[in-house]
Amino acid sequence: MTLTIHGYRKSACTRRVAVVCKELNIPYEVATVNLIAGEHRSEAHLVRQPFGLVPTISDNGFELFESRAICRYLVQKYGKPGPDGLMPDPRDIEATANFEQAASIENNHFDFYAWQIALESVIKPMKGESTDPEIIKKNTTILEAKLDGYERILSKQKYLAGDVLTIADLFHLPFGMAITEGAKYDGLLKRPNVARWWKDISSRPAWQAVKDGA
């Protein structure tokens, strides 16, 4: 049975799951939960996602929400965890610890600040809502310092968890694109090693296939 992503094709978190499907050649269908029409707040969707957000998946009767947890599940179920497998083999404790560290970096030092910038510069204007330049300024200042940390890491290794690509790198793609292309913020482009890494991950065919819609 085909994997179903209950999501909104253009939403960042839906595309986060879709890019991993593409990387692993997992066929999927999108059952649209229309965010503009408020379908994510319907009782039917709240049964799947108690917080009223997208995406969720249904996989042969198995249901899951939280995009990063979904990506981990997809690699473990359909991929080949190991040095070339987007996530380490769980029996490799040190590689797994490095991977979890990288995933925590994205979650704690990138996601919120990039999301705030994207929300104020791209998402709210798209919806015709007013924006707050102070929020953009505050979060850009914080993200600048965070990306200096990224530069220190990426000057020593190719990717965030070491020298092999993992889903922790791919997690950055949706909001990385929103701040770079949408908000025209140059933080991912002006630091040499961050720029090398960003160009590498954002030019992958899997991302090119879903970057404008899952």
| Residue whose entry in the numeric block shows the structure tokens 């380490």 | 88
Should residue 67 be labelled a site residue for ligand GSH when binding is judged by CB under 6 A?
yes
Using the rule CB under 6 A, is 177 a contact of ligand GSH? Answer: no
CA distance 79 to 170: 15
Amino acid identity for residue 123 in this structure:
I
Q: Which of 3, 5, 6, 13 binds ligand GSH (CB under 6 A)?
A: 13
Q: Is 183 helix (H, G, I), strand (E, B) or coil?
A: coil
The 28-32 sheet, strands edge to edge: 28-32, 3-7, 56-59, 62-65
| Interface with ligand GSH, residue 54, by CB under 6 A | yes
CB of 83 to ligand GSH, least distance (A): 26
Minimum distance from residue 115 beta carbon to ligand GSH (Å): 8
For residue 56, count other CB atoms closer than 10 A to its CB. Answer: 24
Interface with ligand GSH, residue 139, by CB under 6 A: no
Instruction: Select 67 or 116, whichever has its Cβ closest to ligand GSH.
Output: 67
Enter the tokens of residue 24.
């692993």
User: In the complex with ligand GSH, which residue's Cβ is closer, 49 or 140?
Assistant: 49
Q: Does 87 bind ligand GSH (CB under 6 A)?
A: no
Q: Does 11 bind ligand GSH (CB under 6 A)?
A: yes
How far is 70 from 212, CA to CA, in rounded Å? 20
How many of the chain's residues bind ligand GSH (CB under 6 A)?
A: 10
Query: Is residue 116 a contact point for ligand GSH (CB under 6 A)?
Result: no
CB 191 within 8 A of CB 147: yes
x/- site string to ligand GSH, residues 21 to 40, per CB under 6 A?
--------------x----x
Q: Does residue 53 bind ligand GSH (CB under 6 A)?
A: yes
Rule CB under 6 A: say whether 194 interacts with ligand GSH.
no
Greatest alpha-carbon pair distance for the chain in Å reads 49
Residue 157 beta carbon to ligand GSH: minimum distance, rounded to whole angstroms: 25
168 sits near ligand GSH (criterion: CB under 6 A): no
- Closest contact distance (angstroms) between CB of 34 and ligand GSH is 11
What is the DSSP code string of 26-73? --EEEEE--TTTTGGGSHHHHHH-TTS-S-EEEETTEEEESHHHHHHH
Question: What is the C-alpha separation between 20 and 67, in angstroms, rounded?
Answer: 10
